[in-house]
Structure 1
Amino acid sequence: MTRLPGLDTLRAIAIAWVMLFHSYLIGGLGENFGVLEQAGWMGVDLFFVLSGFLIGSQVFASLRDRGSLDFGAFYTRRAFRILPAFLVVLGLYLVWPAWREAPQMQPEWQFLTFTFNLLYNDGERRAFSHAWSLCVEEHFYLVFPFLAVWLARWMTPRRFAMACAVIVLGGMGLRAWLWLAFYQPSIGSNEPAYLRYLYYPTYARLDGLVAGVALAACAVFRPDWMSRFRGRAGAGLVASACLLAACIALFDGHRLEFWPIVVGYPLVALAMAGFVAMAGGGTWLARLRVPGAGWLAGASYSLYLSHKGAFMLTEAALGGRLDNHPWLRFLAHVAVVLAVGAALYYLVERPFLRWRERRSATLRAPPVIQGASAGD
């Protein structure tokens, strides 16, 4: 199977950026890296665009080639991909308080049903809070295949573009209303209204997934359009980088304000979509091999699930040691994060993926994304 190392590189960047963002738990890298750290939440949006592109490409390719979708195969693959490592980490959060980044967590049934991101309501119960993005992904996996099959019966490029525009514009309007109705009145209180209403819920965070699905539709049904776009790889990458820089500036120090929340998320998704489009095939970025990126991409899910717990265990073990050597202290945390993530990947995630390939039906990825790790 031919790999596309460019997608691995993007996934590696996404997980590294998210973990850097969460390094606030251990003091981070210091003031000189403040903007880079604080913008690390955008790594999740990159994950969303990648998921929309990878899963969308698989589903659309099946509809194009066979006119149908094997729902059993699709959901079997998703279950084997998501559940084993997730349940292990959830178990650690439930039985090992030292693993938690906060003393309390929301009820376990919210994690088991992937409804945590819709029901979060207590700023003191924030352990395993990064599971919110996994909830968004699970909702996408649950709904998108059925929606794609239904839409395929009447969809045209124009109607598809209009549907995407309606979702994005509707999300902007919804966030504007939520900010005015729920967040603004709570400013200064202890209620986690921003996370509860504007950042965690699936209905407020669809921009990245929609961008990824739109790229997938173009790659599968209009490959000539995608080829022409990729033929201008240099200009596309420069434009995406400039837009991403503008988004970082927009949110820097203003992350909770009205306009960044309303218009910022679609702009971040658009910037990330540019990178994913270029890394998805036919460009030098798609062929770019960065040492270690393939492994980070493959283990990104395990790293994402376990990195906060690894931070906490390292912090407890170090105590006050290395406080006078911040870089050594940070590297010690990174080493433990990689070790814990590798253990989860090799002992839990990877064996189940191999068992899946031997025992379950498969839904193969189309050539445009063949070999992209962590999305199949």
Structure 2
Amino acid sequence: MNRLPGLDLLRAIAIIWVMLFHSYIVGGLGPDFTWLSRYGWMGVDIFFVLSGFLIGTQVLRPLQRGEPLSFGGFYARRAWRILPVFAVVLTLYVCFPGWREAPGLQPWWQFATFTMNLLIDYGSNQAFSHAWSLCVEEHFYLVFPLLAWWLARQPSTARFAGACVAVVALGIVLRAAVWLHDDAINPPRNWYIEDIYYPTWMRLDGLLMGIMLATLRVYRPDAWARWQARSNAFLLGGVAVCCVAFWLFRDRTGLLANALGWPLMSFGFGLLVFAGADRQSLIGRWRVPAAGWIAGISYSLYLSHKLAFHFVQVRFGTTLQGHGMTAFAIYALAVLVLGATLHYLIERPFLRLREHRASLAGQGHTQAQGAERCTVR
């Protein structure tokens, strides 16, 4: 899929929003940024919708054409994309405790097996806790191709729609039940984070919304094109739905927000992604300066930004107190430098290696087909 400026813009907004939210670990960036950072945790859910849409399209297209799905190829591409820079950042956290934004860290094997979001003791081990979302993504990468392959064996609109409704309904019921149970017994731990916010089965709404968009694009291209002619209306609708979600999440840990807020918020972000996928929409028409670059390094930024925050805080934290714009500029510069360094030194070389190996594999496959044709003749 060619890069779409609208999706790059949404990805850039998402990573900046998340980093503004995480500035709480250094005491915040001052009152001028509070209104921006308060809901910054929602940036992760934009990533979930984008991931569901982009990965969903990648998996569903060969299935729609009746081609076999290369599970090995898919998992290998994801591994080359995700693991190298993740391994480097995890090594920094494990081997250099003084670099952590918080002293406690879950055992390394929980990060390596992407089970940290299911096992975390958040009260004691908050360092690198933002890797929880990567765990959710990895579970999605593992399960979705298998599920898509199974559903594609006998395509059925009714069955797909029923599965989507079931996932949303079960999520609402499960979050509400866990919230009511934990609120009643009030266990002596951060049960909201550990039981509702981090577990994969609680956070499927955004990924599902992205998959639904991908399914529409791949299996109903005429409807996709027809609706994209009204992409700006969907854009405005997405903004309106997101505003309602902001209102619901004014009490972020409340029952109503966690029962109904997640699917509503994901629907709003899904409308924004739908509009962003149209090159003629208000957000897809122009390339916003630096948005594409920030989107390109967003993965490295996400993994490493807390390390950069902590470095600046240790070196200059006292000096920067009370200097909102100056503090923002210095923290942002540190984050960009570290993230870009990881991207260009680790992430991109492995991506190039991935493409080189894929090219060699493609050449080998072509040569094998040629030899087979010669043999048959």
- State the TM-score bracket (shorter-chain normalisation): over 0.9
What is the rounded CA distance, in whole Å, between the counterparts of 1:348 and 1:184 in structure 2?
A: 47
Cα separation, 2, equivalents of 1:363 and 1:226: 34
Superposed displacement of residue 159, structure 1: 1.6
Between stretches 219-228 and 280-289, larger displacement belongs to 280-289
Distance change in 2, residues 1:343/1:107 (3 Å): same
Distance 1:53 1:362, change over 3 A: farther
1:123 matched to which residue of 2?
Answer: 123
RMSD: 1.7
Equivalence for 1:275? 272
Q: Secondary structure at the match of 1:321?
A: helix
C-alpha displacement at 1:72, in angstroms? 1.1
**Partner residue, 1:260:** 257
**In 2, distance between residues paired with 1:178 and 1:270?**
23
**Greater mean deviation of Cα atoms: 318-327 or 109-118:** 318-327
Residue from 225, 228, 238 that aligns with 1:227? 225
Equivalence for 1:17: 17
Aligned twin of 1:345? 343
For 1:350 and 1:21, the matched residues in 2 are separated by 27
Equivalence for 1:161: 161
- What 5-or-longer segments of structure 2 have no aligned partner? 363-377
> What is the Cα deviation at residue 67 of structure 1?
2.6
Query: What aligned pairs does 1:90-129 form with structure 2 within 5 A after superposition?
Result: 90-129=90-129
Letter of the structure 1 residue corresponding to residue 196 of structure 2: L
Aligned 8 A contact 1:58 1:363 in 2: no
CA positional deviation for 1:66 = 4.0
SS in 2 for 1:320: helix
Contact 1:227-1:282 at 8 Å conserved across structures? no
Q: Any stretches of 5+ residues in structure 1 without a counterpart?
A: 365-376
In the TM superposition, what are the counterparts of 1:130-279 in structure 2 within 5 Å?
130-186=130-186, 190-252=188-250, 254-279=251-276
Q: Distance in 2 between matches of 1:5 and 1:165?
A: 31
Give the CA deviation at 1:6: 1.1
Tell me if structure 1 keeps the 8 A contact 2:232–2:275.
no
Separation in structure 2 between the aligned mates of residue 35 and residue 331 of structure 1, nearest angstrom: 18
Mark the structure with the bigger radius of gyration: 2
Most deviating of 279-288 and 145-154: 279-288
CA distance in structure 2 between the partners assigned to 1:16 and 1:170 by the alignment: 31
Tell me the distance in 2 between the aligned counterparts of 1:184 and 1:220.
45
Q: Which amino acid counterpart does residue 203 of structure 2 have in structure 1?
A: R
Residue 39 and residue 246 in structure 1: after superposition, are their counterparts in 2 closer, same or farther (change >3 A)? same
Do the aligned residues in 2 keep the contact of 1:73 with 1:362 (CA within 8 Å)? no
1:308 and 1:363 map into 2 onto residues whose CA distance is 38
Residue in structure 2 matched with residue 371 of structure 1 by the alignment: none
Aligned equivalent of 1:369: none
Deviates more, 1:275-284 or 1:209-218: 275-284
Is 1:28–1:330's contact at 8 Å kept on the other side of the alignment?
A: no
SS at match of 1:181: helix
Cα deviation for residue 4 of structure 1 reads: 1.2
Residue in structure 2 matched with residue 41 of structure 1 by the alignment = 41
> Post-superposition shift, 1:68?
1.6
Is the CA contact 2:234–2:274 (under 8 Å) kept in the aligned structure 1? no
Which gives a bigger RCO, structure 1 or 2 (Cα 8 Å, sep 6+)?
1
2:5 and 2:279 in contact (8 A); partners too: no
Say how many residue pairs are matched.
Answer: 361
In terms of mean alpha carbon deviation, does 48-57 or 324-333 score higher? 324-333
| Residue type at the aligned position of 1:257 | G
Residues 206 and 261 of structure 1: is their aligned pair in 2 closer, same or farther, counting only changes over 3 Å? same
Letter in 2 for 1:93: Y
Q: Is the 8 A contact 1:123 1:190 kept in 2?
A: no
Q: Which amino acid aligns with 2:190?
A: P
SS at match of 1:360: helix
Per-residue CA deviation, residues 45-73 of structure 1 (Å, 9 max, x unaligned), is 00000000000001110111243211111
Q: What amino acid is the match of 2:53?
A: F
How many percent of aligned residue pairs carry the same amino acid?
52
